[in-house]
Amino acid sequence: MTFQDIFKSSFLENVSSVSIPDMLITLVLSFALGLFIFLIYKRTFAGVMYSSSFGVTLLALTMITTVVMLAVTSNVVLSLGMVGALSIVRFRTAIKEPMDIAFLFWAIAVGIILAAGMLPLAIVGSLVIGLILVLFANRKPHVRPYIAVLQCADQEAEKQATGYLQTQVQRCTVKSKTVQPGQVEVNLEVRLKDGNTDFVNALGDLPGVRSAVLVSYNGDYLG
Beta bridge partners of 188: 148, 174
pLDDT value of residue 38: 92
Q: Which amino acid is at 142?
A: H
- Tens of pLDDT along 148-163? 899 898 888 888 888 8
Closest among 77, 76, 64 to 115, alpha carbons compared: 64
- Tens of pLDDT along 185-202? 989 888 888 777 888 888
- Which is higher by pLDDT, 214 or 218? 214
